[in-house]
Amino acid sequence: MRLLFLGDVVGKSGRVAVTERLPGLVSDLKLDCVVINGENAAHGFGITEAIYQDLLDAGCDCVTLGNHSWDQREALVFIDRAPRLVRPANYPPGTPGRGAALIEAKNGAQVLVINVMGRLFMDPLDDPFVAVEREIEAAPLGRVADAIVVDVHAEATSEKNAFGHIFDGRVSLVVGTHTHIPTSDHRVLSGGTAYQTDIGMCGDYDSVIGMDKTEPLRRMREKTPGGKLEPAGGEGTLSGIVVEIGANGLATSAKALRVGGVLEQTP
């Protein structure tokens, strides 16, 4: 199985990059499954039902979220009728939606997608490690799920690094999202789990983590209230990771993907 995970889609630049480029990548790379973090897709903050559907129509099989899950209030309602939309599993009991989804990939495989939010320098939610344990116990790799993907939406590199080692050999991929800056540590860990601390974003990198530079730079220099943050509007880069997954559900290779925009392109 060949799986692509794309980083946080930020605003229109990120959405256009996905809708214009993903169909071709699905065909050219012979992708069996595509997962995208969509928590910044609606003008940089949250996601709408229309955007969720646009991502699916472009070839995405599952959309994950994070700390901006509810910035668009409609998400509190439509998430319950969106079976391929996954919010952090460590939100408190009673939160709308689901923290994991067992989806059918393009090749018929069963892929368990889990989303959790870190707790270092983030909202103090329930224990994310316990949440992942709970979800993989309910759909174990090789017995229920043909592949398991864990999106760790977190600030601290140490916390995401720990996730990779703790679940190495028990899931197919542990990938970090949230910081919007891709790290260069993509690899297959010793137990067979593909890992990358952060896969970056799908958006305009001539920006401050996807936002037009003017207001963030002013805020950092002047430390006074000002205008709203607006997504940068230049050409977006698709940033993600492509993972080959064997018959046992573990990874055999992990390669970075960067297409379009100002970053160095991958082969």
Catalytic residue positions, numbered: 68
Spatial contact of 187 and 254, defined as CB atoms under 8 Å apart = yes
Rounded CA-CA distance 55/42 in Å is 12
Q: Identify the H or E element spanning 252.
A: strand 251-259
Rounded CA-CA distance 174/199 in Å is 11
The dihedral through the CA atoms of 37, 71, 16, 52 has a sign that is positive
Residue 172 phi/psi, 5-degree rounding, is: -80, -40
Using CA atoms of 38, 249, 160, 182 in order, give the dihedral in degrees to the nearest 10.
-60
Spatial contact of 243 and 147, defined as CB atoms under 8 Å apart = no
Rounded CA-CA distance 253/267 in Å is 15
